[in-house]
Chains A and B, each alone.
Chain A
Amino acid sequence: MSSECPPVAEADGGSVALVGHHNVGKSLIFQRLTGSRVTVANYPGTTVEVARSSGPSALGPALIDTPGIITFPTRTEDERATSRALLEEPLRAIIQVGDAKNLRRTLLLTLQLIEMERPLLLALNMTDEADSRGVRVEHQRLQKQLGIPVVPTVAVRGEGLDQLGDVLLNSAPATPKLHYPKPVEDTVQGLIPLLPACSLSARGLALFWLSGDPEAESWLNQNASAHNWEQMIASRERLEATLGRSVDAVIQDTRLAYVEHLSATVLHDAGTQQEGFAAWFGRISVHPIWGFPVLAGVLLAVYLFVGHFGAGTLVDLLEGTLFGEIINPLVIQVVENLSPIPLLTEFLVGEYGLWTMGITYALALILPIVATFFLAFGVLEDTGYLPRLSVVTNRLFSHMGLNGKAVLPMVLGLGCVTMATMTTRVLENRRERTLATFLLALSIPCSAQLGIVMGMLAAVSLGATMIWGAVVFGVMLMVGWLAAQLLPGSRSPLMMELPPLRRPVAKNLIVKTLARLEWYLKEVIPLFLLGTAILFLLAATDILPGLISAGTPLVTGWLGLPPEASEAFIMGFLRRDFGATGMFVLGSEGLLSPLQITVAMVTITLFIPCVATVFMISKERGRRMAAGMVALVFPLAFLVGGLLYRLLFTLGWGI
């Protein structure tokens, strides 16, 4: 009895974990069962945290949604969160969401989950797609063979979901039927008394560890006694010596053979391929030649939607009309009447007022731009286009020591660099995450800034825009290449599933966009307000003029800009769009020549990221790395700006 894990409390508490591959509809099922807002995404890594239902779900116990995995052992930071959840959660039961048309892949994972000996339910999702490809699974027969309930579902239509609760909670713990070669089984028996207690069965935990999972390795290292851990390691070494191969390979081979055996009886595949527009578009979007025009078209569409509609029409409406003419005058009047202290009035509605600057910009300028961006990005995700974007851009990223997977954080960075920094978790090793974070901080302009930058450059000439684009892009490539040479470690080659292109479901898209906006408002806006308050303090205590004059030799002498531009740079640290807007104000007062505008825009784009991003980098990569990046980006931005100034001046362009 001491060799068994203590049973999880049957009556209350505990949670049900949703586990499965990427792109199978797991997050959608989570959302339907909990009713709470959660991001539903097609591109791996969007569920960066383990999402949890607050309180009981439709099933009873709390439901947790885990990041998609390929198999155990897990690899990326993202996937390891799933291993961690299985090890540390008080698991009541597990629901695996599987793709009905890819039964073999699904069953490989099912076998691994069965071994954990918790009640398990397999929800075979997307049966509609399976049907249209001539794939039929005899789920009743499969149910009998596996000994666990198998429920076909079509999550996008909500079919089959109502059964999940009853079926799951009435089912008994799964019993594994698969036996491994004798040396493996003997070793597992020997390990059982050494293992610490957890939700998983002892045998399941032993196999989980032997199959090479790094999270299991570190969890056992921490939780087993030092003596037991030594014995476990010795045990594994003896086993591998006996087998002559690594034990994780032997385990997987056994499982793969059993999967073949199962599939032979229950899977009927006519092998029909997907036809129609979606299939055709899917093919040309990764075509070696036509993939690029498709990419250009998609980028153009996004630019028009976010840049013109969002940054233009919506911002004019909100900032000009709603806030400018209606709300702000009212607020200013109210505060002026009610506020006892002039300083307080100034703090709230003055030049650097919390309301007039902070909140107005947050809601009138940034919110519409970010909202349109999230909507556009959501469409890219839900259609399944993003992985194909990785394929087309892979070669480009390989020059920077990255692979196509980096396209996700880079493109998200065009919306908000703070959020994109968090998404670098999907990259496979630390070197890539560091590289991507650095390039994001250096060269990706966020949407708030981008709108103003493009507006200013467009007012000058197309040539100015092209110079800006070429310089920023060139810097990204060169610095990326250099950093890739200097950082230790190697690049991981691209391997990524291309899910079929699907029509996005409007409701999911809107829910997802709203969830992201909620995140944005809660996480990023307070930091913006903090920035405004700091700026107010600097101005009120008269430090600001001092800082401005301190920056003058750099800004005027080296960059060739008027002294007032120094203020814009300082503000640019607190809020990136402040920097651009500051320049815009100077430009509209006729104080800047085309040359100066171009140099200013390039420098502003390359300049250090806003305070919110620096905080995020400290959180994700550590404070030393954040400090190091800031220390590198600052001089680099000014160096490039100054060189560009001298080059264009010598050529006599735009003086």
Chain B
Amino acid sequence: MDEAACNTCPMGSNCPMVCCPVCGYTTIDTDKTTVGRIALNLVPSQNPKRDQATLSTLAEVPKGVSVRVVAVENTDGSRPLQMQAYGLAPGRLVHILQQEPVTVVRADHTELALEGDLASKVLVEVVTS
């Protein structure tokens, strides 16, 4: 975090907000505020509508369909690296086995169960077999 942004802010640097010094976007640091964290969890978030082009995510494909992975969204940490290591890598063929209670797919001969949150990070295109 850029300390310069906090220095000029009247709130000082101990408030639980995280502010981008470039564009000014603010959000809360959930590690610093209990109330904020609870509120964030309780209030449902609005998911932005995505352009319904030819690409969908792994979470949206109905069961029984085969897809080819296009890309894995770059989220934080080593999660995308692990997903790719399991076989959800660009160019690979993946078969959807079920979407409830979690997403279960097959890549090569590995069956992988993953929650919708993670599955929605994998961009795929449907393969018409």
Taking Cβ atoms with an 8 Å cutoff, the residues of A that contact B are: 70-71, 73, 75, 99, 101-105, 108-109, 133, 135, 212, 246, 248-249, 252, 256, 260, 269, 282-283, 286-288, 291, 387, 390-392, 394-395, 403-404, 485-486, 488-490, 493-500
Contacts and interface: CB of A to CB of B under 8 A. Distances in A.
Closest 9 CB pairs of A and B: A71-B85, A493-B115, A288-B100, A498-B111, A101-B109, A495-B114, A488-B31, A493-B117, A73-B78
Nearest to A135: B109
A392 B112 CA distance: 14
A450 B86 CA distance: 39
Decide if the interface of chain B is mainly helix, strand, loop or mixed. mixed
B115 A256 contact: no
B101 interface: yes
6 contacts: A71-B85, A102-B110, A288-B101, A485-B37, A494-B114, A499-B111
B81 A403 contact: no
Interface string B20-34: 000000000011001
Given A70-B85, A488-B31, A497 B112 contact: yes
B84 A488 contact: no
A485 B80 CA distance: 26
A498 B112 contact: yes
Nearest to A403: B115
A230 B118 CA distance: 35
B109 A102 contact: yes
Nearest to A396: B101
A252 B77 CA distance: 14
Given A286-B104, A495-B118, 13 more contacts: A71-B85, A99-B109, A102-B109, A105-B87, A135-B109, A212-B81, A252-B81, A252-B84, A391-B102, A391-B104, A394-B115, A488-B37, A497-B113
Contacts, number: 115
B6 to A, nearest CB: 20
A248 B114 CA distance: 23
B115 A497 contact: no
Interface of B: 30-31, 34, 37-38, 41, 74, 77-87, 89-92, 97-98, 100-102, 104, 108-115, 117-118
A102 B82 CA distance: 15
B123 to A, nearest CB: 15
Contact of B38 (A248, A260, A485): A485
A313 B56 CA distance: 57
Contacts of B74: 246, 249
Given A286-B113, A394-B115, A493-B118, A70 B101 contact: no
Given A249-B81, A252-B84, A394-B101, A101 B113 contact: no
Contact of A488 (B30, B100, B101): B30
A105 B110 contact: yes
A256 B101 contact: no
User: Which among A73, A103, A497, A500 has the greatest number of chain B C-beta atoms within 10 A?
Assistant: A497
A197 B98 CA distance: 49
User: Which among B79, B90, B111 has the greatest number of chain A C-beta atoms within 10 A?
Assistant: B111
Contacts of B112: 495-498
Given A73-B81, A248-B78, A391-B102, A495 B89 contact: no
Nearest to B72: A249
A142 to B, nearest CB: 16
Given A269-B108, A497-B111, A108 B78 contact: no
